[in-house]
């Protein structure tokens, strides 16, 4: 399988490391022979139709925080030019999330789909703004769009609902989909730390971005909720359909009151009927959704299985790159099934 990587940051690098270390295993177990034929970062692109040397990619990244020293590097070759001219089967889009207009990821994904390349992304922005349209574009061009890593990093939240609960009907979804805010609320709850100090701690531990606005205002979990609503429940919604309030109004006093009621305040993203919301809610301390620290958790209420909860680390380069590999294997399986029909 010929792969184009757009972005080689935390997630992209972790994924290429998996390929470097496990190519033989992946081929033996899953019958996939991955070959990275192009990698693009801000400075330009490295392209080699026979497959790039991954060792040289890492050496260049280490020396210059960029792929610019790779022998196949072409400065100023843009991602769109690469997507339009380089032959490949799958594009892995791992550029930064932009929730204002989805760019540059949105153009990358649209161009790749129009060029009949399958797409795997961990970038929530384009999906939160335009998932129904992107799914239509993929179907029209008879290619696949996969995005396991956009919700819960490496936790197979989307796969659990979509594959393991096949035949059942998901009636509602409730979840903690943001590790940063869960860490902050946990610190406020356990040690009475102020929100400001808890945020500083989260930044020092690498859970929170330098600009934590998307997390604190509930935008990040709202993006994930939109992806779940479309993919799992077949709705056709975007982030504009979500009623969003973040955690900035939560006081230590509110948390103490919740404790007195045997509950904790959590930032809950939920889908109930036609209502999509992200807001702080009281969760009973003994409910499986009441997880602490930077953990994520999602409870699906299904017609037959009733409540099913999945818990895990919601982010991290290596965790999320595992989700990309899952998607790659899923694409191969789907293609094999299609060829057999
Ligand atoms: N990190 C996580 O734990 C995690 C978990 C789940 C989902 N995600 C999502 O996954 C995506 C990637 O995350 P990350 O942590 O790997 O981000 P990152 O470390 O900031 O890496 C982003 C990469 O995209 C490249 N890039 C930026 N603009 C570009 C453009 N116009 N054309 C080509 N390349 C461009 C950057 O190039 P340079 O190297 O030249 O700067 C960099 O290599 C994001 O959307 C993020 O929200 C991340």
For 276-322, the DSSP string reads: EEEEEEEEETTSTT---TTEEEEEEEETTTEEEEEEEE---HHHHHH
DSSP 52-114: --HHHHHHHHHHHSSSTTSTTEEET--HHHHHHHS--SEEEE-PPP-TTT-TTHHHHHHHHHH
E strand or H helix at 170: strand 170-176
Confidence at residue 208, expressed as pLDDT on a 0 to 100 scale: 79
83 CB near ligand 1 (under 6 Å):
no
- The pair of three-digit structure tokens given for residue 289, joined into one six-digit string: 């959704």
4 CB near ligand 1 (under 6 Å):
no
12 CB near ligand 1 (under 6 Å):
yes
Answer positive or negative: Cα dihedral of 298, 300, 305, 306: positive
- The pair of three-digit structure tokens given for residue 2, joined into one six-digit string: 């010929």
**Distance between CA 298 and CA 312 in Å, rounded?**
9
Confidence at residue 76, expressed as pLDDT on a 0 to 100 scale: 86
CA–centroid distance, 122 to ligand 1, in Å, is 9
Ligand 1, pocket-test mutation among 4, 11, 69, most atoms within 8 A of CB: 11
Confidence at residue 210, expressed as pLDDT on a 0 to 100 scale: 74
Residues 226, 127 contacting (CB under 8 angstroms): yes
11 CB near ligand 1 (under 6 Å):
yes
313 CB near ligand 1 (under 6 Å):
no
180 CB near ligand 1 (under 6 Å):
no
Residues 35, 3 contacting (CB under 8 angstroms): yes
Roughly how many angstroms between the first and final C-alpha of the chain, as a whole number?
Answer: 21
- Nearest ligand 1 atom to the CA of 104 is 31
Confidence at residue 340, expressed as pLDDT on a 0 to 100 scale: 79
Q: Would you please indicate which residues are annotated as catalytic (active-site) residues?
A: 224
Identify whether 104 is preceded by a cis peptide bond (ω within 30 of 0).
yes
- Alpha-carbon radius of gyration of the chain: 21
Answer positive or negative: Cα dihedral of 225, 230, 231, 233: positive
CA–centroid distance, 91 to ligand 1, in Å, is 14
Per-residue pLDDT 10s for the chain (341 aa) are 999 999 999 999 999 999 999 999 999 999 999 999 999 999 999 999 999 999 999 999 989 889 999 999 999 899 999 999 999 999 999 999 999 999 999 999 999 999 999 999 999 999 999 999 999 999 999 999 999 999 999 999 999 999 999 999 999 999 999 999 999 999 999 999 999 999 999 999 888 777 899 999 999 999 999 999 999 999 999 999 999 999 999 999 999 999 999 999 999 999 999 999 999 999 999 999 999 999 999 999 999 999 999 999 999 999 999 999 999 999 999 999 988 77
Confidence at residue 65, expressed as pLDDT on a 0 to 100 scale: 85
- Nearest ligand 1 atom to the CA of 78 is 32
7 CB near ligand 1 (under 6 Å):
yes
Three-state DSSP class for 23?
helix
Ligand 1, pocket-test mutation among 70, 75, 80, 94, most atoms within 8 A of CB: 94
242 phi and psi, to 5 degrees? -105, 130
CA–centroid distance, 120 to ligand 1, in Å, is 14
**Helices 195-204 and 179-191 sit at what angle, rounded to 10 degrees?**
130
């Amino acid at each position: 399988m010929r792969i184009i990587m757009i972005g080689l940051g935390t997630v992209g690098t972790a994924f290429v490391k998996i390929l470097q270390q496990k190519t033989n295993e992946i081929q033996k177990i899953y019958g996939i022979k991955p070959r990275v034929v192009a990698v693009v970062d801000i400075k330009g692109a490295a392209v080699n139709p026979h497959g790039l040397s991954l060792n040289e990619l890492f050496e260049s990244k280490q020396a210059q925080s960029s792929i610019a020293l790779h022998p196949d590097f072409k400065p100023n070759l843009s991602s769109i030019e690469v997507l339009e001219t380089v032959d490949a089967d799958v594009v892995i889009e791992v550029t930064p999330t932009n929730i204002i207009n989805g760019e540059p990821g949105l153009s990358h994904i649209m161009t790749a789909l129009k060029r009949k390349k399958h797409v795997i992304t961990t970038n929530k922005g384009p999906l939160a703004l335009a998932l129904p349209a992107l799914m239509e574009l993929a179907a029209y061009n008879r290619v696949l769009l996969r995005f396991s890593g956009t919700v819960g990093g490496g936790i197979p939240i989307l796969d659990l609902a979509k594959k393991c609960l096949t035949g059942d009907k998901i009636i509602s979804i409730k979840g903690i989909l943001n590790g940063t805010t869960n860490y902050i609320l946990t610190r406020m709850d356990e040690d009475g730390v102020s929100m400001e100090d808890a945020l500083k701690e989260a930044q020092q531990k690498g859970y929170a971005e330098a600009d934590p606005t998307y997390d604190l205002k509930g935008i990040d979990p709202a993006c994930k909720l939109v992806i779940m609503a479309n993919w799992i429940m077949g709705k056709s919604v975007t982030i504009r359909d979500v009623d969003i309030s973040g955690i900035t109004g939560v006081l230590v006093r509110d948390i103490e009151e919740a404790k007195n009621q045997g509950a904790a305040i959590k930032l809950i993203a939920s889908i109930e009927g036609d209502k999509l919301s992200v807001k702080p809610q009281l969760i009973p301390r003994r409910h499986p959704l009441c997880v602490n620290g930077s953990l994520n958790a999602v409870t699906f209420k299904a017609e037959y299985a009733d409540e099913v909860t999945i818990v895990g680390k919601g982010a991290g380069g290596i965790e999320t790159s595992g989700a990309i590999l899952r998607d790659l294997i899923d694409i191969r399986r789907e293609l094999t099934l299609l060829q057999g029909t």
